[in-house]
């Protein structure tokens, strides 16, 4: 590996000083360096294929242009990777790079991950989780501008800003979608309450009934889990043995996997989707919802948008933080959108698993 060209190499080749090179290549040549020299410098840089050493730059500028992302299991699980993709895209646009550390769901690794990142002099920190949940924010995280994506500070005063999906509204709009198709006996299959996603989506479901002036039948709400088998057994409980007139005409699921389970159960019982029963998912999971048979109507989580919004806010803070520190006017705590909680709406996706309510129901 032939060592990369340095600014000095360029200066030599162009027959000028290092400073001139720096000036010109940073756009501050005009008025400082002779036009002829500028030309020669640019040429030299081009032929030597020169790009400044980011490490030296970081040291000099006391800014690494690295954003640290710690996640609970975004890397290892198949979910929510698009939060990071959205965040990374924004970072890249601004000349930042992200380094992500996945704790693989081991909370005791949080502090260590943040420490490692801090040691690397990251300019900002983002915590991303799989599934909405309260987060015990690692203490050392607040030493640089920080933000939370898909999770929120579990302390009441909410020290760190957060970007989360509007799950209540998502649940409500899902229910309203099937209501608009004439359904009234609507079941809701949710995961456990270990994460707030389920309760919030259920809350939205209730809101829809309230708004419609309809009573909520609590027996129709089943908290069963998050996986295919849970959906299957939940649906069996709802449908097996019930006469056609007494079973729900629509089943709303808190994620697409549950919906798979529900459809599986329907088929097993000889029921058609959506003719006999409408089924809805949640998440619009990549290469699942769209390719199911039938293709799943679902509520898409705004993952990319959340990541992008979080990164945009964070980068704003990073910049402010820097100028503040430069001015010596410490903001003292409260970075990262300063405790603001931003809600991003979900997006209804109508496909083929939901249809008009059967005749007579």
Q: Is 321 in the site for its own copies (CB under 8 A)?
A: yes
Task: Among 104, 106, 154, 240, indicate the residue that binds its own copies (CB under 8 A).
Answer: 104
Task: Among 34, 59, 105, 244, indicate the residue that binds its own copies (CB under 8 A).
Answer: 59
Q: Is 320 in the site for its own copies (CB under 8 A)?
A: no
261 contact choice in DNA, its own copies, none (CB below 5 to 8 Å, kind-dependent)? its own copies
Q: Is 264 in the site for its own copies (CB under 8 A)?
A: yes
Cβ closer to DNA: 47 or 61? 61
Cβ closer to DNA: 39 or 342? 39
Q: Is 101 in the site for its own copies (CB under 8 A)?
A: yes
User: CB 191: neighbour CB atoms within 10 A?
Assistant: 24
User: CB 331: neighbour CB atoms within 10 A?
Assistant: 13
Q: Is 270 in the site for its own copies (CB under 8 A)?
A: yes
Q: Is 285 in the site for its own copies (CB under 8 A)?
A: yes
Relative to beta strand 250-253, strand 186-190 is: parallel
18 contact choice in its own copies, DNA, none (CB below 5 to 8 Å, kind-dependent)? DNA
Residues 6+ apart with CB under 8 A from 270: none
Burial 29-42 (b: 16+ CB within 10 A, else e): beeebeeebbebbb
Looking at 6-14, 39-47, 53-61, 207-215, which segment touches its own copies (CB under 8 A)? Answer: 53-61
Least distance in angstroms from the C-beta of 42 to its own copies? 18
DSSP character string of 12-26: HHHTS-HHHHHHHHT
Task: Among 51, 180, 275, 340, indicate the residue that binds its own copies (CB under 8 A).
Answer: 51
What is Dmax (Cα atoms) for the chain?
91
Least distance in angstroms from the C-beta of 66 to its own copies? 8
**Beta bridge pairs of residue 152:** 134
Q: Looking at residues 151 to 210 of the shown chain, list those that interact with its own copies (rule: CB under 8 A).
A: none
Interface contacts to DNA, rule CB under 7 A: 3, 6-8, 16-23, 25-26, 28, 31-34, 36-37, 50-53, 56-57, 59-62
Listed in order, strand segments (DSSP E) in 4-86 are: 66-71
Opening angle at CA 352, ends 347 and 357, nearest 5: 100
Listed in order, strand segments (DSSP E) in the chain are: 66-71, 97-102, 124-135, 146-153, 162-165, 186-190, 221-223, 250-253, 278-280, 298-300, 341-344, 347-349
Task: Among 230, 251, 346, 357, indicate the residue that binds its own copies (CB under 8 A).
Answer: 230
Cβ closer to its own copies: 144 or 147? 144
Looking at 166-174, 177-185, 211-219, 226-234, which segment touches its own copies (CB under 8 A)? Answer: 226-234
Q: Is 105 in the site for its own copies (CB under 8 A)?
A: no
Nearest to 87 by CA among 100, 78, 77, 72: 100
How far apart CA 49 and CA 7 sit, in angstroms, is 11
341 contact choice in DNA, its own copies, none (CB below 5 to 8 Å, kind-dependent)? none
Task: Among 14, 125, 149, 260, indicate the residue that binds its own copies (CB under 8 A).
Answer: 260
Count helices and strands in the chain by DSSP H and E runs: 11, 12
Say if residues 87 and 310 touch (Cβ distance below 8 Å): yes
């Amino acid at each position: 590996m032939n060592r990369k060209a340095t600014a000095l190499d360029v200066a030599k080749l162009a027959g000028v000083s290092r400073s001139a090179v720096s000036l010109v290549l940073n756009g501050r040549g005009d008025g400082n360096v002779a036009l002829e020299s500028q030309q020669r410098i640019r040429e030299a840089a081009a032929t030597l294929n020169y790009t400044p050493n980011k490490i030296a730059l970081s040291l000099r500028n006391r800014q690494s242009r690295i954003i640290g992302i710690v996640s609970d299991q975004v890397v290892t699980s198949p979910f929510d990777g698009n939060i990071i993709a959205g965040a990374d895209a924004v970072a890249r646009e601004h000349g930042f790079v992200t380094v992500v550390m996945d704790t693989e769901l081991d909370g005791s690794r949080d502090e260590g991950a943040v420490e490692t990142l801090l040691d690397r002099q990251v300019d900002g920190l983002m915590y991303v989780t799989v599934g909405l949940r309260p987060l015990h924010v690692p203490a050392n995280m607040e030493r640089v501008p920080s933000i939370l994506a898909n999770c929120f500070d579990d302390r009441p005063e909410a020290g760190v800003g957060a970007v989360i999906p509007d799950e209540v509204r998502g649940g409500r709009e899902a229910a309203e979608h099937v209501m608009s198709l004439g359904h009234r006996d609507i079941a809701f299959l949710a995961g456990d309450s270990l994460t707030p996603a389920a309760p919030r989506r259920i809350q939205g479901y209730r809101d829809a009934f309230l708004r419609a002036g309809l009573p909520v039948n609590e027996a129709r709400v089943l908290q069963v889990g998050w996986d295919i088998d849970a959906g299957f057994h939940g649906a069996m409980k709802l449908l097996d043995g019930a006469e056609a007139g007494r079973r729900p005409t629509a089943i709303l699921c808190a994620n697409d996997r549950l919906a798979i389970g529900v459809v599986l159960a329907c088929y097993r019982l000889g029921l058609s989707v959506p003719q006999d029963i409408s089924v809805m998912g949640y998440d619009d999971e990549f290469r699942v919802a769209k390719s199911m048979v039938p293709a799943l109507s679902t509520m898409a989580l705004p993952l990319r948008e959340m990541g992008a919004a979080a990164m945009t806010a964070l980068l704003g803070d990073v910049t402010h933080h820097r100028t503040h520190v430069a001015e010596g006017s410490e903001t003292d705590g409260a970075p990262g959108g300063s405790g603001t909680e931003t809600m991003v709406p979900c997006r209804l996706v109508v496909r083929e698993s939901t249809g008009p309510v059967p005749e007579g129901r």
